[in-house]
Amino acid sequence: MSSSLQPITLYAHGGSPNPLKVAIILEELSVPYKIVNLSSAELKQEPYTTINPNGRVPAIEDPNTGISLWESGAIIQYLVERYDGDGRISTTTVPEKYQLNQWLQFQVSGQGPYFGQAWWFLYFHPEPLPSAQERYINEVERVTAVLDSWLQSHPFLVGQKLTYADLSFVPYANAVLHTSAVSRNGKLFEAGKYAAYSRWLHVLLARPSVKKILAQFPPTER
Ligand SMILES: N[C@@H](CCC(=O)N[C@@H](CS)C(=O)NCC(=O)O)C(=O)O
């Protein structure tokens, strides 16, 4: 990507997973960026709520186009459309470009929220609710099983190459690995139960962009 580009501002909150998805995509596309880390209080007040009225991260401001966006899926789609003209991590062929969007939507609406709710009911909810904990841990496993089933006969989520759809799953998949209650003390991946998923995740975790971002924002061990 041309070095004449001005850095995109990426708003984050510590090592929380959704902004890391965007950081990985920016790394893959060699688009310059700077991360602005906001406190919990700053997320919920001006001036940030003018950028994102939902008071969450990520959001971006791109000085090259004047475009400001929030919601990680929308941001990723913008970045690949604008900065991946040579198809490094995307494709414009049909039906693949729609399938990329499909898997991205599955990440944003499935993997992310279920893990987030599992984490909430395990560590933050004011009273212990084992049934809620179990429900969301089960949903994380169900999403893992969906991915594993597809990956048993496909090297990547779409086509023969790694794309933004694959990369979008990395921060939460890595968080699962480091959250013993959600990985059921590692039993989720024991004895090759989700072998295709594990093979795929290892390929993703070895990617230089992923290694760089996860080293900068190591997951919380629980
Ligand atoms: N659907 C949103 C979810 C954003 C989200 O939940 N972000 C979390 C961090 S991963 C956040 O801002 N948490 C802080 C808070 O809710 O105050 C997206 O994909 O961007």
Report how far apart the first and last C-alpha atoms of the chain are (Å, whole number).
38
C-beta 21 within 6 A of ligand 1: no
> Do residues 177 and 38 lie in contact, with contact meaning Cβ atoms separated by under 8 Å?
no
Q: Which atom of ligand 1 is nearest to the CA of 19?
A: 10
Q: Token match 């939507």: residue?
A: 105
Fold of 96-216: Glutathione S-transferase Yfyf (Class Pi); Chain A, domain 2 (1.20.1050)
Predicted confidence (pLDDT) per residue in 115-141, tens digit: 999 999 999 999 999 999 999 999 999
Q: What's the CATH number of domain 8-83, 3.40.50.150, 3.40.30.10, 1.10.110.30, 3.30.70.270?
A: 3.40.30.10
pLDDT digits (tens, 9 = 90+) for 98-121: 999 999 999 999 999 999 999 999
Best of 10, 11, 18 to mutate for ligand 1, by most ligand atoms within 8 A of CB? 18
The amino acid at residue 104 is L
| pLDDT (0 to 100) of residue 1 | 59
**Ligand 1 center–CA 206 separation, angstroms:** 26
pLDDT at 190: 87
Residue 44 near residue 56 (C-beta atoms within 8 A): no
CA distances from 213 to 80, 97, 155 (A): 18, 26, 23
Cα–Cα distance, 24 to 76 (Å, whole number) = 10
**Residue 57 in contact with ligand 1 by CB distance below 6 A:** yes
